[in-house]
C-alpha cells in the first residue's frame, strides 16, 4: 500500500494514494458566498468546481500558513479538495505496520489507524468519517 504523507500543524497524517486523484500546484481559489469558515473557496479542476476544505482548521488545529498545493480526493470518494499545512511524500507500507486506533477514546476523531514507519507516527485519515462530519455541518 502507498500513502501520501502530509502535515496538519505539527502532526503527520496520511491518506492512501488510491483515495487521491491528484495533488494540484497553486490552484486559483474562487470565493464562495456564505461558505463555512472551513472552506477556503473553490477551484476549477478540469472543468469541475470543487470546494477546498481547510483540513487543519476543520480538525481544530491552530490557523497557520498552508501549502500552496491542494489534495484532490478521488472522484469515487467525494468532489472535494483538501488544503493542508504541508504536502509531504508518498511512502510504501505494509498492512502489519498499521496500529489500530481506539475510537472509544476519541469518538469524534478522524483517525482510523496509526502507521508506525521509520520511528514516525502517521495518523491515517479516516476519509469516510471526515465526509460524514462535513455532511453534518
The strand pairing partners of 72, in sequence order, are 22, 81
For position 101, what pLDDT does the model report?
75
Q: How is domain 2-136 classified at the architecture level of CATH?
A: Beta Barrel (2.40)
**Which residue, 137, 136, 114, is CA-closest to 124?**
114
Q: Please tell me the predicted confidence (pLDDT) of residue 21.
A: 95
The three cell numbers locating residue 82: 483538501
pLDDT of residue 99: 81
Euclidean distance between the first and the last CA atom of the chain, given in angstroms as a whole number: 32
DSSP 63: P
Would you state the pLDDT for residue 106?
Answer: 53
CB atoms within 10 A of CB 13: 25
Q: What is the pLDDT of residue 104?
A: 52
pTM reported for the whole predicted model? 0.89
pLDDT tens profile 115-130: 988 888 999 999 888 9
The fraction of the chain above a pLDDT of 90, given in percent, is 63
The domain limits of the chain are 2-136
Spatial contact of 90 and 122, defined as CB atoms under 8 Å apart: no
Place of cell 478522524: 110
pLDDT digits (tens, 9 = 90+) for 24-43: 999 999 999 999 899 999 99
Mark 68-105 as b/e (b = at least 16 C-beta within 10 Å).
Answer: ebbbbbbeebbebbbbbbebbeebebeeebbeebeeee
Stretches where the chain sits below pLDDT 70 are 102-108
pLDDT at 96: 76
Amino acid at each position: 500500500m502507498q500513502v501520501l504523507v502530509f502535515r496538519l500543524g505539527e502532526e503527520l497524517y496520511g491518506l492512501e494514494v488510491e483515495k487521491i486523484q491528484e495533488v494540484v500546484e497553486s490552484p486559483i481559489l474562487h470565493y464562495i458566498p456564505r461558505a463555512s469558515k472551513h472552506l477556503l473557496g473553490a477551484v476549477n479542476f478540469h472543468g469541475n468546481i470543487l470546494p477546498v476544505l481547510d483540513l487543519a482548521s476543520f480538525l481544530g488545529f491552530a490557523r497557520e500558513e498552508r501549502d500552496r498545493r491542494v489534495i484532490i480526493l478521488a472522484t469515487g470518494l467525494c468532489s472535494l479538495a483538501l488544503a493542508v499545512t504541508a504536502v509531504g511524500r508518498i511512502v510504501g507500507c505494509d498492512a502489519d505496520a498499521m496500529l489500530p486506533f481506539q475510537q472509544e477514546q476519541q469518538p469524534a476523531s478522524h483517525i482510523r489507524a496509526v502507521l508506525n514507519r521509520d520511528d514516525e507516527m502517521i495518523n491515517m485519515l479516516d476519509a469516510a468519517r471526515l465526509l460524514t462530519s462535513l455532511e453534518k455541518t
